Chains A and B, each alone.
Chain A
Amino acid sequence: MRKVHFKGVALPYLLLLPQLIITGLFFFWPAGMAIYQSFLREDAFGLSSQFVAFENYADVLSDPTWLESAARTGLFSVSVALLALGVALFLAVQADKHIRGADTYKTLLVWPYAVAPALAAVLWLFMFHPNIGLFGRLLNGLGIPWDYRLNGGQALTLVILASAWKQVSYNFIFFLAGLQSIPRSVLEAAAIDGASPMRRFWTVVFPLLSPTAFFLLVVNLVYAFFDTFGVIHSLTQGGPGKSTETLIYRVYTDGVMNLNLGSSAAQSVILMILVIVLTAVQFRYVERKVHY
Chain B
Amino acid sequence: MLRRRQLGLAAAGTFAPVALAAPALAQNGPVEIQFWHGLAQPLGGMLESIANDFNNSQSRARVVSTFRGGYPETMVAAIAAFRAGTAPHIVQMFEVGTGTMMAAGRAIKPLHELLRDTNVNINFDDYLPAVRGYYSLADGRMMSMPFNSSTAIMFYNKDAFRRAGLDPEVAPKTWAELRQAAQRIKAAGHEMPFTTAWPTWTQIEQQSAIHNTEIASQENGFGGLNTELRVNNPLMQRHFANLLEMGREGSFRWGGRDSAGDAVFASGQAAIVHASSGARARFVREVPGGAANIGAAMLPYYEDVPGAPINSIIGGASFWAMNRGPNAQRSADENRAIAEFFAFLARPEVAAKWHTDTGFLPVTRTAFERVRQSGFYEQNPGADVPIQQLLRGDRMTGASRGIRLGGFVEIRVIMQEEMERALQGQQAAPQALQNMTNRGNAVLRNFERTNRG
Residues of A whose CB lies within 8 Å of any CB of B are: 41-48, 50, 65, 131, 147, 149-152, 237, 239-242, 253, 256-260
Contacts and interface: CB of A to CB of B under 8 A. Distances in A.
Given A131-B267, A239-B257, A259 B79 contact: yes
Contacts of B407: 258
B267 A240 contact: no
Interface string B78-93: 0100110000000000
Given A237-B257, A239-B257, A241-B417, A42 B450 contact: yes
Contacts of A43: 103-104, 450-451
Q: Is the interface of B mostly helix, strand, loop or mixed?
A: helix
Given A47-B326, A240-B421, A256 B76 contact: yes
A45 B105 contact: yes
Contacts of B82: 45-46
B388 interface: no
Contacts of B256: 149
A257 B409 contact: yes
A259 B450 CA distance: 11
Contacts of A237: 257
B423 A257 contact: no
Contact of B421 (A147, A149, A241): A241
Contacts of B451: 43, 48
20 contacts: A41-B446, A43-B104, A43-B450, A44-B79, A46-B326, A47-B107, A48-B452, A65-B439, A131-B267, A150-B254, A152-B424, A239-B417, A240-B417, A240-B420, A240-B421, A256-B76, A257-B409, A258-B407, A258-B409, A258-B443
A45 B83 contact: yes
B107 A239 contact: no
Interface string B403-430: 0000101100100111011011010000
A44 B104 contact: yes
* Chain B contact patch, size range: 35 or more
B72 interface: yes
B441 interface: no
A240 B260 CA distance: 13
A131 B267 CA distance: 10
Given A47-B326, A257-B72, 19 more contacts: A44-B79, A45-B79, A45-B104, A45-B107, A45-B326, A46-B326, A47-B105, A47-B107, A48-B452, A147-B254, A150-B254, A237-B257, A240-B417, A241-B417, A241-B426, A242-B417, A257-B409, A259-B79, A259-B100
A144 to B, nearest CB: 15
B106 interface: yes
A41 B254 contact: no
Contact of B264 (A48, A131, A242): A131
A46 B78 CA distance: 13
Given A239-B416, A240-B421, A47 B104 contact: yes
